[in-house]
Structure 1
């Protein structure tokens, strides 16, 4: 029998394997090119032979990370996707995240499962609102950030202006790994800061394959592009060198330039991630105690997704291995219930495609199939080594509708579908005594979440659904003693969230202020995004 993770001889293997892992997410504002860059990274790691395109442009297939029909039709990511591959002796776990603000909750959960983030900026737009919000989450969680300036094959801002924006708006000092030779839209290649060589690119038609690279020594680069080469050298000399310590402390960001759609600068980004991004480290448990990576197995469920496999209609729980060695078939403990949980069906993912995985180490993402007992935020651990990681935050909803099926014969399927969407965190489900079980309230950060919910109810459960808008725009946490008072107020409704929290719903801040003036002693606590 092989040694268990708790035996001394297993610990060095776990620590060594953890050191090989790099687990990161790509974050950006919508349309910055995030899914395209994810595809290009997989292409450079040789895990796919040809890169797809958002919307399947130019006759190419869709990107592997956007596997939902709605994603392919709209050209946006509405759910996170996991990809695992090997590159340069490392195991890379890459999480593509939704960029649209309506799906912030999904992205925030993913950021609880990674050790680093790639912040993707559009060369013409710089820092945009959703990018700023996601960066704040990274900073709050202590996740270091590598910055990639995308779309440098098109007209854009001056590189030094982008550097200034990073420092002035978010206090992040840029330390370039490479620097563009030539302005955005008319650039000749990338200056490698380490050895002062120029990497040029011969782009593949449509960007479906890896761009052919050539390396020019400084003398040849200057001969070909004298003015642009001197300008690049002068500009990059103004900026600090990459410093690992300040990067990991969140004070600086390694900066790279490129164009994901034509696979320019993508290899350089991968090389930077495996050399600079942190390997998995001890993670604090719910009591703030660090759990070492070579402790017995533990894992955090950060996402639950059904409907990935139309043939089987199964449900997949995404688990970040936090410590120890995961072994398929081992019986672990579900911290929330104390009950045993079998891991017979374990998968590794490449978008929606899966393969059976037998062993996994800290930093890896494991998909547990038919994990009906698991919900977002759950902890799993090896028998005899109990631990519980901090729960996932709930977020302050701003949009509210009631949902009902238009086919009364499918009430049972409707209730089952609503429960599944709640467990996955697609929307928050509220029950109001005023409306009954047949008309639950769906609460969301953004209205596109409702579209995802109704689409999935229709496609996966065969349930036609009608939504009725509710006149509410904010929620406050309250307690049982305040329910009778609030229910008597016009334009106010109290509903219970799935986790037992009581939420008072208000149309606007004016109505909230009016109720507070009349009832100053009742509890109406804000729901803070990411901290509730």
Structure 2
């Protein structure tokens, strides 16, 4: 039973530079998977037309994704779990953490802009973790770069080998569909049907079929034959083992907004993408087909349902079978917890889960027990590794703008920080609070959510700090002396660990010389 459930599951993240069409592709995958009946207009300001995966009010208003959303659906005998991540660089930390919970990735690239800054950063993380990557080159209905030039750019900029598994018929105004190289099938769409699934297709099993010339014209048909012959001659046959090891990226072309190439991508994905994989812990490697349950928390979200002010921890199941109302060990706290209402997701729509398997993501209602990176087991004392934490780059002092709402203010800041959207630091016996982020937009999101979800107003005031370093030392006397001499620049994080705030790297280098026994850490997990 366990092996059968594992084999049918695929969990992947969708990543991209902002505006490459990532959330639109997610919509269309859900559409083809039968999970939704109508695709949302991602940039619409109307709540009823907002994208399924963009459920927070600020996402609907701004037309951007600022939090990872989880969606699951069944397709051709497979249970597919999609994690749609924020594209905006200010929310990269959420995306990096999400990459620890997936077994593969679909990277969306805009055919007009090609490889962009955030694309490079995300691929660097994928390569570091050897995550298998499929590349979807989007917006082929626009006048963009030539497909062969795009492939060369991908290989050069992202330092990964590519292999086209579909090929576009034309580009921009001449774009007519895609040829499925992997399965040797051609699909021609009779029109651009944005809202519904395009059913009216011509299917040909052979490029030499004269029907091709009739459908798209002699010249485009001949161009397609020549390009496909060139692709097959230049590129090695697709190697599944190289893809799963993270060295070879299959490439698909299409237009997500117009449903071109999406079904080809999904059909090939379920065939080649890896099922749930083994995970490293501080003790040993956990195999998914072990009988005992293990899982870890990779995301926490407060107020997923604004009417109930709930707080949900997202748990990636790594091994065994998860069961409702069964006690599991929270290894950091060393206590047993059971969950009466675990949920599965379609963005913000939730349904009760009785059981779940490796590769699934379940939402656990949390009364404040969880932090990102926490591990659940059936008793074994271990911790899953590799949940990244970044030193913030921008700091603001946060102040309560309404003294009558101090309780709401404290609760809101505490819960939002637990979600990982920002980090909180204290000075002067917690009378001063600093919020540290990796991007400016996070302050806007915090302010918006504090007001709309907690009824608390807050203001942010600029301070001169540019870096936070956690400090430790084997010589306690030396550490205390350092803390005293830098009292105006020292604070603590939420866990009470000492943190040194600096204006520049020069400050850190100076203190390292003055206090050689003190160690400066980039993250809180040294």
TM-score interval (norm. to shorter): over 0.9
Q: How many angstroms apart in 2 are the aligned matches of 1:439 and 1:403? A: 8
Matching residue within 205, 212, 216 for 1:221: 212
Shift of 1:211: 2.2
Q: Unmatched 5+ residue regions in structure 2? A: none
Cα deviation code 1:406-456 (max 9, x no counterpart): 2212222222222212221121011122xx424311011111111121222
Is structure 2 residue 75 aligned with structure 1 residue 80? Answer: no
Q: How many angstroms apart in 1 are the aligned matches of 2:253 and 2:124? A: 22
Q: How many angstroms apart in 2 are the aligned matches of 1:337 and 1:196? A: 54
Q: How many angstroms apart in 2 are the aligned matches of 1:54 and 1:453? A: 22
Is structure 2 residue 61 aligned with structure 1 residue 65? Answer: no
Query: 8 Å contact 1:474–1:506 — kept in the other structure?
Result: yes
Q: Secondary structure at the match of 1:131?
A: helix
Q: Where do 1:152-171 residues align within 5 Å?
A: 152-171=140-159
Matching residue within 308, 313, 317 for 1:312: 308
Query: 8 Å contact 1:280–1:293 — kept in the other structure?
Result: no
Matching residue within 15, 19, 24 for 1:27: 15
Q: 1:58–1:196: structure 2 CA closer, same or farther, 3 Å change rule?
A: farther
Q: How many angstroms apart in 2 are the aligned matches of 1:269 and 1:194? A: 10
Q: How many angstroms apart in 2 are the aligned matches of 1:414 and 1:504? A: 25
Query: 8 Å contact 2:45–2:63 — kept in the other structure?
Result: no
Shift of 1:499: 3.6
Aligned to 1:372: 368
Matching residue within 396, 401, 405 for 1:406: 401
Shift of 1:387: 3.5
Q: How many angstroms apart in 1 are the aligned matches of 2:192 and 2:158? A: 36
Q: Secondary structure at the match of 1:175?
A: strand
Query: 8 Å contact 2:471–2:521 — kept in the other structure?
Result: no
Aligned to 1:5: none
Matching residue within 208, 224, 232 for 2:227: 232
How many pairs does the alignment contain?
513
Query: 8 Å contact 1:315–1:370 — kept in the other structure?
Result: yes
Query: 8 Å contact 1:156–1:185 — kept in the other structure?
Result: no
Q: How many angstroms apart in 2 are the aligned matches of 1:264 and 1:528? A: 43
Is structure 2 residue 463 aligned with structure 1 residue 470? Answer: yes
Cα deviation code 1:471-523 (max 9, x no counterpart): 11122232364464466459x61121224433211122344444445x26253
Is structure 2 residue 442 aligned with structure 1 residue 449? Answer: yes
Matching residue within 432, 436, 441 for 1:439: 432
TM-score normalised by L of structure 1? 0.91
Q: 1:489–1:386: structure 2 CA closer, same or farther, 3 Å change rule?
A: closer
Q: Secondary structure at the match of 2:444?
A: helix
Q: How many angstroms apart in 1 are the aligned matches of 2:324 and 2:384? A: 21
Aligned to 2:338: 342
Shift of 1:176: 1.3
Instruction: Judge which range, 187-196 or 14-23, deviates more.
Output: 187-196
Shift of 1:391: 6.0
Query: 8 Å contact 1:191–1:232 — kept in the other structure?
Result: no
Q: 1:295–1:230: structure 2 CA closer, same or farther, 3 Å change rule?
A: same
Cα deviation code 1:44-75 (max 9, x no counterpart): 00111000011228997111100111111111
TM-score normalised by L of structure 2? 0.92
Query: 8 Å contact 2:6–2:288 — kept in the other structure?
Result: no
Q: How many angstroms apart in 2 are the aligned matches of 1:256 and 1:20? A: 23
Q: Where do 1:514-529 residues align within 5 Å?
A: 514-516=510-512, 519=514, 521=516, 523=518, 525-527=520-522
Q: 1:119–1:195: structure 2 CA closer, same or farther, 3 Å change rule?
A: closer
Query: 8 Å contact 1:171–1:251 — kept in the other structure?
Result: no
Shift of 1:388: 2.4
Aligned to 2:262: 266
Q: 1:438–1:201: structure 2 CA closer, same or farther, 3 Å change rule?
A: farther
Q: Unmatched 5+ residue regions in structure 1? A: 1-12
Instruction: Judge which range, 498-507 or 475-484, deviates more.
Output: 475-484
Aligned to 1:208: 195
Q: Where do 1:42-61 residues align within 5 Å?
A: 42-56=30-44, 61=49
Cα deviation code 1:372-421 (max 9, x no counterpart): 31221111112x44442126221021000111112212222222222212
Aligned to 2:319: 323
Q: How many angstroms apart in 2 are the aligned matches of 1:272 and 1:327? A: 32
Aligned to 1:95: 83
Shift of 1:289: 2.8
Superposed CA RMSD in Å reads: 2.2
Query: 8 Å contact 1:397–1:474 — kept in the other structure?
Result: yes
Matching residue within 401, 410, 417 for 1:422: 417
Matching residue within 271, 292, 297 for 1:296: 292
Instruction: Judge which range, 144-153 or 451-460, deviates more.
Output: 451-460
